[in-house]
Structure 1
Amino acid sequence: MPTILIDQPLGITCVFSDGSRAAFSLDGLPNSLLARQLATGLVDVIHPHGTADSAGTVNHYVQAIRGMVRALAAQGFAGGLDQLRRGRLAEYLMGCSGGREACTRAMVEAFGQAGGSLADGVLELAAGRNFNVQPNHHALPPYSENEWQRLGDLCRRLVEESYATHRQALTAVAHGQHPAEGGWTPRIFAGCWPPSGR
């Protein structure tokens, strides 16, 4: 198996798709139960089950585990993910960086989807939208010729419609009267000016 969770001392070893190996220690954290459950979720995030496929990427997840366990322990939380309430998780995630939030969400979600016990609403929160928006580091694919054609057609149509509305406004100005002389009359531009009976 490419990724193995080790209990004594708590840690994780990985073999990536390029054949490289890495080991990460989670020993000595103040809440070993929470650390182990998050690491259980991490196993499903790592290749071949998930997309994490390098030591650097897995290290981000390991740092997220350490950060969450230490932060919650400092608040007096000593339970596992099954005792973590939605509100406390949301509070923690809101205080994280975007990257750490994304890593934590992925591990909590993977733990829940693998059958791990979670409190009501925690899986939905983990699977939901990030509080901290992450920038997109990947270049977007170029438009196809068909997409460029549609974009150009749309732009031309919008310019033509905008210019037609501009011309209608100029026509309306030419037929306008001062309200003291002509009274208040609402004008609705629907392609017909001036109004009938004028």
Structure 2
Amino acid sequence: MLIDQPLGITCVFSDGSRAAFSLDGLPNPLLDRQLATGLVDVIHPHGIADSAGTVNHYAQAIRGMVRTLAAQRFTGGLDQLRRGRLAEYPMGCSGGGRKACTRAMVEAFGRASGSLADGVLELAAGRNFNVQPNHHALPPYSETEWQRLGDLCRRLVEESYAAHRQALTAVAHGQHPDGADGLPRIFAGCWPPSDR
């Protein structure tokens, strides 16, 4: 839940735990509040942030973005943020976590308010500049997928082994096409080495 005075967020997570985060006192209160509004939609039960540690990363991302843009004399809100400035900000951040958090909050605010400049929502929702490692376990294969995977592996092994056996048979019964002794004609008379 968003708290207005002083600006902050209070959360209740799926395990029943609670946390509160202060976002007050930043140099651009409008941008600060709009990012916090986006953060509310990223937190459980609306979004995937479901622990105090995760929400703390988002709060740090808000503080970092607001301070950085204020230092660049940006005094507007997310509706005045242009695509170029949004692209510039995460590329100047160190570490991928702050970039991902910022983009998620901008995207959530844009989807809820519909008041972002042209291209800003698409940039926030688009692919990462740097690929983030997947921190979530992938879903397990179904029994049908395991069966198909096993069948494919067996077929590939059988085909590979059949090709290997054919190659061994060809080597054992083969003769080089250029010479009767199995060596190209350019080596005829040179092999085996003579005692001369």
Counterpart amino acid of 2:65?
A: M
User: Cα deviations across residues 98-122 of structure 1 (Å, max 9, x unaligned)?
Assistant: 2212211111111111124111000
In structure 2, what is the Cα distance between the partners aligned to 1:157 and 1:4?
58
In structure 1, what is the Cα distance between the partners aligned to 2:118 and 2:138?
37
Task: Report the counterpart of residue 110 of structure 2 in structure 1.
Answer: 112
Of 8, 12, 22 in structure 2, the residue corresponding to residue 11 of structure 1 is: 8
- Is 2:22 the counterpart of 1:25? yes
Counterpart amino acid of 1:155?
A: C
- Is 2:153 the counterpart of 1:155? yes
Q: CA deviation at 1:175?
A: 8.9
- Answer yes or no: is the 8 Å Cα contact 1:86–1:119 preserved in 2: yes
- Answer yes or no: is the 8 Å Cα contact 1:101–1:132 preserved in 2: no
Task: Report the counterpart of residue 76 of structure 1 in structure 2.
Answer: 73
Equivalenced residues, count? 177
TM-score by length of 2: 0.75
TM-score by length of 1: 0.75
CA gap of 1:32–1:176, structure 2 versus 1, over 3 A, is farther
Q: CA deviation at 1:167?
A: 7.9
In structure 1, what is the Cα distance between the partners aligned to 2:100 and 2:58?
9
Counterpart amino acid of 1:66?
A: R
Q: CA deviation at 1:162?
A: 4.8
Q: CA deviation at 1:13?
A: 2.0
Of 115, 133, 136 in structure 2, the residue corresponding to residue 135 of structure 1 is: 133
Secondary structure of the structure 1 residue equivalent to 2:132 = coil
Q: Which runs of 5+ in 1 are unaligned?
A: 182-198
Compare 102-111 and 161-170 and name the one that shifted more: 161-170
- Answer yes or no: is the 8 Å Cα contact 2:2–2:37 preserved in 1: no
Within 5 Å, which residues of 2 pair with 1:157-172?
Answer: 157-162=155-160
- Answer yes or no: is the 8 Å Cα contact 2:38–2:106 preserved in 1: yes
In structure 2, what is the Cα distance between the partners aligned to 1:9 and 1:86?
30
In structure 2, what is the Cα distance between the partners aligned to 1:169 and 1:88?
62
- Answer yes or no: is the 8 Å Cα contact 1:16–1:53 preserved in 2: yes
Counterpart amino acid of 1:39?
A: A
Percentage of matched positions with identical amino acids = 86
In structure 1, what is the Cα distance between the partners aligned to 2:114 and 2:75?
17
